[in-house]
Amino acid sequence: MDERRLDGNAIGGDLMELFGTEMTVAWAVCRSCGAHEQLAEMRVYRDAPGIVGRCVHCEAVLLRIVHAPGRSYVEFSGVASLEMRVS
Amino acid sequence: MAEVAATVPETPRTRTLVLDVRGWSGHRAGQHLDVRLTSDDGYQAQRSYSIASAPGQPLAITVERLEDGEVSPYLVDVVHDGDAFEVRGPIGGYFVWEPGDERPVLLVGGGSGVVPLMAMARAHNAAGADTRMRLLYSSRTLDDVIYREELGHLDGNGLDIVYTLTRGQPPGWTGYARRIDDDMLREVAWPAGDGPIVFVCGSTHFVDAAADGLVRLGYDPRWVKTERFGATG
């Protein structure tokens, strides 16, 4: 059992800062296996050098976020599409 | 910035901080906020804490001290009324319960994982909701039970509470005395056919065990909402 493994709730604040809106309820399609999940449900490791989010079904990397002083690097290479509610 | 308006000791390891945040937009039961501390040399440490208060009540978080943590020992042992620190939030929309939801609710909390569930129980009580709500709360010992007195008042008042004490039990204890397992879930959880919604919060190991067990009982995975706590404090 890996106690370092969290879920997408844990990076809700990071995502909100980057996107300016609540992102844990956004639906992501995994580019690797096609699963359709809310970002809150993905597996998150935040003690890597940066944040790594993985698909809860196939464990492919969905996204990486690295914070550095004054800037953040964001990569969503494993996400085929993102669907979010707009008001 | 949040200013500490009051502090409430809960257990030897936990403390509630009532916060006054200028411009706070209000929150939903189950959401969290991020606390960011900045040292004199500019070093920053950030942690997420669940909101314990119901919407409409004074904003409060409950923090558990994790030994060797960078943030939690400060929040549990050091800060006092009038101190201020940076917060961001409210955050989250997935692990959220709304009083208008008419499905039976099962709350499953391990240790300080009870905090966001307490916000839901308080919201349920404040709304006078008549939906069934049950809390299964796993704690090391009775002294580690957070909100023990208030839960005593809520128990039976629209909320059923079932405790399991995993490391030590007081004399005469007749409740559960083991980690959550499938047999316990079968005895405590609403029948899957009632279409319940579940919120499970605690350590990764705890959440996985409870959520997997509920799915084995026939619970719809879509309605078993999970939130995992990290081991860094």
Q: Which residues pair with B227 in a beta bridge?
A: B201
ipTM: 0.93
| B205 in A contact zone (CB under 8 Å) | yes
Residue A69: predicted pLDDT:
83
Q: Across the interface, which of B91, B204, B230 has its CB nearest the CB of A16? A: B91
pLDDT confidence tier of residue A1, bands split at 50, 70 and 90: low
- CB < 8 Å to B203, chain A: 3
pLDDT single digits (tens) A28-81: 999 999 999 999 999 999 887 899 999 999 999 999 999 988 899 999 999 999
Q: How far apart are CA B121 and CA B53, in angstroms?
A: 9
Residue A2: predicted pLDDT:
77
- CB < 8 Å to B205, chain A: 1, 3
| B232 in A contact zone (CB under 8 Å) | yes
Residue B155: predicted pLDDT:
93
DSSP H/E element including A22 = none
Cβ distance of A13 and B204 shorter than 8 Å: no
| B221 in A contact zone (CB under 8 Å) | no
Would you state the structure tokens that stand for residue B207, as one six-digit string?
A: 């959440």
pLDDT single digits (tens) B159-185: 999 999 999 999 999 999 999 999 999
pLDDT single digits (tens) B51-77: 999 999 999 999 999 988 999 999 999
Residue B192: predicted pLDDT:
95
| B179 in A contact zone (CB under 8 Å) | no
pLDDT less than 50: residues of chain B: none
Residues of A with CB under 8 A from a CB of B: 1-10, 12-13, 16-17, 22, 24-25, 38, 40-41, 46-47
pTM of the model: 0.96
Cβ distance of A13 and B46 shorter than 8 Å: yes
Residue A47: predicted pLDDT:
81
What is the radius of gyration, based on Cα positions, of chain A? 12
Cβ distance of A46 and B204 shorter than 8 Å: no
